[in-house]
Amino acid sequence: MTIDLSLLPDGGVGWLDASGRHSNVVLSTRIRLARNVEGYAFTGRARDGERLRVLAQVRDAVTDAAVLKPHVEFRVDELAPTDRSLLHERHVVSKELAGLDGHHAVRAGAAVFLGDGLGVMVNEEDHLRLQALHSGFALPDAYASLDRLDRELGARLPYAYHPEFGFLTACPTNVGTGMRASVLIHLPGLVLTKEIGKVLSGLQQMGLTYRGLYGEGSEVVGNFFQISNQTTLGRSEEELLDQLIRVVGKVIESEEEARRVLLRDAGYIIEDKLWRAYGTLRYARSLTFDEAMNYLSGVRLAVGLKLITGLSVYTLNKLLIFSQAAHLAYAEGRPLTEGETNLARARYVRMALEREAGAVG
């Protein structure tokens, strides 16, 4: 069975359109809420039958929810591994739900409901993981739409809630608000000026944390960092969001300052480096994922600094997603070896850049 991602309400890539605020620095904003349904053991301890009943109950609630109209459902437990990888590369399911984290096989009843910018993972570590994904730096908007979804589902499903501890979750690090708000931010200026260490340790002192492109346990590639709240209890959703907005605002300022310093103090070196990155992507015949991410990071910086014009951030954003292994195999219509993947990646990137090459200068 091969899934058809074009069925997704926004084509599944609305959040890549670079329409949001600060989109030259911030790629996307994601917030997730962890919720469990009263009356069942948490996913990890539940039996298959219970997980399937949770899914049926969630499906009824989702079908009634106005904010999720229209939506599509993917039964992740019935998909082939390549299709599960595809959904994971799209950032619509976690590695754990897709059964790709090396700890668990995909669980019976694992599913995802996807609407416009909103999604509900079922039978992840918690029964429900609601998430909102927006383009650019958009924490208030993302939270407003997620909160509507949460209230609609919570009026139909009895959430596990404790007056003292809040929304109850399988992992104690998520209890309380159950909220993890994160901003995917591109910080090449701070990395190149070697200021990044200071910024990251500052984040930790503020109760925030950072991860790589795919969240928990993933490595930082292409100078992309996901900055998110660390704690979920003892502060309200608004306080957690306000702090993240304040701190990420400062990080954006620091990144912009670092870029100004780079241009002022090492203008021609930077310009040469970034055009070389563009040249490699435009003509290379084989690219590993890390290579592609690093050169794309350079080109994105060049576009942000207006050293390269005529190339859209939307194209660069799409390349981040579509140059991944499962997407390339999907486009080719067959499984690819690692070597073939690198060839297909270089070809895909070349063609995408060629389409806009006439305007690039």
Query: Which residue ranges make up the site for other proteins (CB under 8 A)?
Result: 36-42, 44-45, 49, 53, 57, 103, 125, 154-173, 175-177, 179, 216-217, 231-237
| Nearer Cβ to other proteins (164/338) | 164
Of 39 and 267, nearer to other proteins (C-beta) is 39
**Residue among 100, 109, 121 at smallest CA distance from 78:** 109
Residue 165 Cβ, how far from other proteins at the closest point, in Å?
6
CB nearer other proteins, residue 135 or residue 145? 145
Q: Which is nearer to other proteins, 7 or 105 (CB)?
A: 105
Q: CB of residue 142 vs other proteins: minimum separation in angstroms?
A: 16
Shortest separation between residue 109's beta carbon and other proteins, angstroms: 15
Q: Whose Cβ is closer to other proteins: residue 156's or residue 318's?
A: 156
Residue 99 CB, shortest distance to other proteins, in Å, is: 15
Minimum CB separation of residue 150 from other proteins in Å reads 9
User: From the CB of 71, what's the least distance to other proteins, in Å?
Assistant: 21
Is 79 or 240 the residue whose CB approaches other proteins more closely? 240
What's the min distance (Å) between Cβ of 171 and other proteins?
6
3-state secondary structure the chain: CCCCHHHCCCCCCHHHCCCCCCCCCEEEEEEEEEECECCCCCHHHCCHHHHHHHHHHHHHHHHHCHHHCCCEEECHHHCCHHHHHHHHHCCCCCCCCCCCCCCCCCCCCCEEEECCCEEEEECCCCCEEEEEEEECCCHHHHHHHHHHHHHHHHCCCCECEECCCEECCCCCCCCECCEEEEEEEECHHHHHCCCHHHHHHHHHHCCEEEEECCECCCCCCCCEEEEEECCCCCCCHHHHHHHHHHHHHHHHHHHHHHHHHHHHHHHHHHHHHHHHHHHHHHHCCCCCHHHHHHHHHHHHHHHHCCCCCCCCHHHHHHHHHHCCHHHHHHHHCCCCCHHHHHHHHHHHHHHHHHHCHHHCC
Residue 19 or 230 with smaller CB distance to other proteins: 230
Q: Please say which residue, 155 or 359, places its beta carbon nearer to other proteins.
A: 155
Instruction: Write down the least CB distance from residue 61 to other proteins, Å.
Output: 10
d(CA 91, CA 96): 12
